């Protein structure tokens, strides 16, 4: 006989259990950040070690994030069947398998196997993300959902600041700047030997990551993290949704998923290409490696602002409008400014610092879009969360579009892809979130 999953109403949790649950979910967001933003180093590293062009190297992001599109709906059915808690355990174990795949990939220096490993890690995250984001949205008051999401974002970006630097410390050597210059000049046999040694440096960190992810799955399985009731509807929500039979009947959710697609895609374009942009300006990889962490540090500052300001001083809707409008302005300024500047001991074009500042505009978009998109879904919340997670495939597609234009023109002009992204996000912030039916009549 199948054992029924015991669920609880999130509003009835004790303060102690709520706090412990938030801490555990914070750990999940830390792992999301570590596993995601480590790709910022892998992209330029694989570009050298596997001898790739811009588009080919950005398939690191494509393989990782396309898993959200392919696996989000299966993940939703998995969570429906086994519950959030066991689902999180399974997600961690899938990620552990993906990290382990890096070992044979490095031993053979086969880029395709690396991409399979990255897709597998992304698959695990496709299970973890809807569970974690739904948890943090539902545990506590609706008014403070964006604040809680900001705290989770801070956990995510803390890991994002640390991850590229840790991986860089593990796989890069002070002598590599000279090595990278010499590789194109080597004969075939010597170059293959040098590249094989270079790529095998990823074996130890990813084997260690595999063990940690497996143990985290075990820990979650035996933790006190509760199964929350996402099917509970207030009378008003139940009445509003009484005639609805499909998730497609919620335009504000579908448009919100598009907003997530564009937001994460544009954010990843900035973070995962900034090293290449700095190198294009003549900065060595060992110096350029710090820029993803700079962007994520600025993003972290934005999350801290959100924790302080939302909802006491400003609501999440107004914050989303500020973020999207400022992103448009910063993107335009990026193309208007020129000239070498020395800042933080680095001599580089001024424009790169506006790319860094975009991290502040991007910081609170995720945490403000989620409450708006999930509002009023009631029994459709689980599937709605998975639809939003599907939007993460924007991180797979938009960097490839950027890479295409970077190869066609240059890395600077390719950043024009960001402008229409931020224009759409402004549309959602000012209008799209209010659309409750496909006739496009306004409805608050």
According to the per-residue pLDDT averaged within each range, which of 25-29, 354-358, 395-399 is highest? Answer: 354-358
CA dist 102 and 117 (Å) reads 6
The residue among 293, 219, 271 whose CA lies nearest residue 28 is 219
CA dist 138 and 123 (Å) reads 24
Quick one: average pLDDT of 298-304?
86
Q: Which two tokens stand for residue 305?
A: 């602002």
The more confident residue out of 273 and 5 is 273
Quick one: average pLDDT of 170-190?
84
57: preceding bond cis by omega (within 30 degrees)? no
Over 70: is that where the pLDDT of 143 sits?
Answer: no
Q: What is the pLDDT of residues 19-69, one digit of tens each?
A: 777 888 888 888 888 887 788 788 888 888 888 887 888 788 888 888 888
From first CA to last CA, the distance across the chain in angstroms is: 46
Quick one: average pLDDT of 13-20?
70
Q: What is the pLDDT of residue 232?
A: 59
Quick one: average pLDDT of 71-95?
85
The more confident residue out of 405 and 240 is 405
Over 50: is that where the pLDDT of 2 sits?
Answer: no
Instruction: Name the pLDDT band for 1 (thresholds 50, 70, 90).
Output: very low
Q: What is the pLDDT of residues 89-138, one digit of tens each?
A: 899 999 999 999 999 999 999 999 999 999 999 999 888 887 777 777 77
Over 50: is that where the pLDDT of 13 sits?
Answer: yes
Quick one: average pLDDT of 357-368?
89
3-state secondary structure the chain: CCCCCCCECHHHCCHHHHHHHHHHHHHHHHHHHHHHHCHHHHHHHHHHHCCCCHHHHCHHHHHHHHHHHHHHHHHHHHHHHHHHHHHHHHHHHHHHHHHHHHHHHHHHCCHHHHHHHHHHHHHHHHHHHHHHHHHHHHCCCHHHHHHHHHHHHHHHHHHHHHHHHHHHHHHCCCCHHHHHHHHHHCCHHHHHHHHHHHHHHHHHHHHHHHHHHHHHHHHHHCCCCCCECCCCCCHHHHHHCCCCCCHHHCHHHHHHHHHHHHHHHHHHHHHHHHHHHHHHCCCCHHHHCCHHHHHHHHHHHHHHHHHHHCCCCCCHHHHHHHHHHHHHHHHHHHHHCCCEEEECCEEEECHHHHHHHHHHHHCCHHHHHHHHHHCCCHHHHHHHHHHHHHHHHHHHHHHHHHHHHHHHCCCCHHHHHHHHHHHHHHHHHHCHHHECCCCCCECC
Q: Lowest-pLDDT range, 182-191, 228-237, 386-395?
A: 228-237
Quick one: average pLDDT of 200-222?
90
Q: What is the pLDDT of residue 141?
A: 67
CATH architecture of the domain with residue range 13-226+247-433: Up-down Bundle (1.20)
Q: What percent of the chain has pLDDT over 90?
A: 27
Q: Which two tokens stand for residue 240?
A: 């509003």
The more confident residue out of 426 and 244 is 426
Instruction: Name the pLDDT band for 86 (thresholds 50, 70, 90).
Output: confident
Q: Lowest-pLDDT range, 36-40, 83-87, 122-126, 239-243?
A: 239-243
Q: What is the pLDDT of residues 410-425, one digit of tens each?
A: 989 999 999 999 999 9
């Amino acid at each position: 006989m199948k054992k029924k999953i015991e669920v609880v109403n999130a509003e009835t949790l004790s303060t102690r259990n709520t706090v412990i649950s938030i801490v555990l979910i914070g750990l999940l967001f830390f792992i999301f950040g570590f596993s995601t933003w480590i790709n910022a180093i892998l992209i330029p590293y694989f570009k050298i070690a596997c001898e790739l062009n811009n588009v080919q190297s950005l398939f690191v992001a494509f393989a990782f994030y396309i898993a959200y599109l392919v696996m989000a709906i299966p993940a939703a059915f998995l969570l429906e069947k086994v519950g959030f808690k066991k689902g999180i355990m399974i997600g961690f174990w899938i990620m552990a398998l993906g990290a382990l795949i890096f070992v044979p990939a490095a031993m053979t220096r086969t880029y395709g196997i690396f991409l399979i490993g990255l897709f597998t890690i992304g698959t695990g995250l496709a299970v973890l993300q809807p569970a974690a984001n739904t948890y943090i949205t539902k545990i506590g008051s609706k008014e403070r959902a964006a604040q809680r999401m900001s705290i989770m974002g801070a956990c995510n970006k803390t890991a994002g600041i640390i991850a590229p630097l840790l991986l860089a410390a593990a796989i890069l050597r002070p002598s590599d700047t000279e090595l990278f210059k010499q590789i194109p000049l080597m004969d075939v046999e010597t170059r293959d030997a040098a590249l094989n040694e270079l790529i095998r440096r990823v074996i130890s960190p990813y084997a260690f990551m595999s063990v940690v992810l497996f143990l985290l799955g075990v820990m979650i399985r035996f933790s006190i993290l509760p199964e929350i009731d996402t099917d509970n509807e207030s009378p008003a929500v139940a009445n509003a949704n009484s005639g609805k039979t499909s998730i497609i009947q919620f335009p504000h959710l579908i448009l919100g998923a598009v907003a997530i697609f564009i937001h994460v895609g544009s954010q990843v374009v900035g973070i995962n290409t900034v090293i290449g942009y700095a190198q294009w300006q003549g900065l060595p990889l060992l110096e350029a490696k710090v820029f993803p962490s700079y962007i994520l540090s600025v993003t972290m500052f934005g999350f801290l602002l959100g924790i302080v300001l939302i909802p006491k001083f400003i609501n999440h809707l107004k914050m989303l409008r500020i973020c999207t409008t400022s992103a448009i302005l910063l993107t335009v300024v990026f193309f208007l400014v020129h000239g070498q500047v020395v800042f933080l001991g680095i001599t580089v074009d001024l424009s790169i610092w506006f790319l860094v500042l975009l991290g502040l505009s991007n910081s609170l978009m995720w945490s403000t879009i989620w409450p708006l998109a999930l509002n009023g879904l009631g029994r459709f919340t689980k599937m709605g969360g998975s639809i939003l997670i599907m939007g993460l495939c924007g991180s797979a597609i938009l960097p490839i579009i950027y890479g295409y234009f970077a190869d066609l023109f240059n890395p600077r002009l390719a950043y024009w892809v960001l402008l229409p992204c931020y224009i759409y996000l402004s549309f959602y912030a000012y209008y799209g979130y209010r659309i409750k039916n496909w006739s496009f009549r306004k409805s608050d």
